[in-house]
Amino acid sequence: MAVTNDDIMNELRAVKQHHVWKRAENVAKHFDVSLGTVKSWKRRGLITGYKHDKIVIYDVLVIERDLFQIEN
């Protein structure tokens, strides 16, 4: 199977994306949902939290891409 130039460019864009880290409360505000909704997404495995010191943070760009399928 041949790899097209578009495939390479899409992969490069994905690698170059930066991260926007937010706490659960700010993720809820960003997506205009409740904090309970964010916690529900995490419990169901729809989003992944990352521990930074004693705080759990979430990558908003990954949530947009995976959960809402928004292209940046």
Q: Please calculate the CA angle 51-48-24 and round it to the nearest 5 degrees.
A: 70
Q: Where are the domains of the chain?
A: 19-66
User: What confidence category does residue 1 fall into, taking pLDDT thresholds of 50, 70 and 90?
Assistant: low
Structure confidence at residue 58 as a pLDDT band (50, 70, 90): very high
Residue 3 has φ and ψ, to the nearest 5°, of -95, 130
Whether pLDDT at 44 is above 90: yes
- Per the confidence metrics, is the pTM higher than 0.85? no
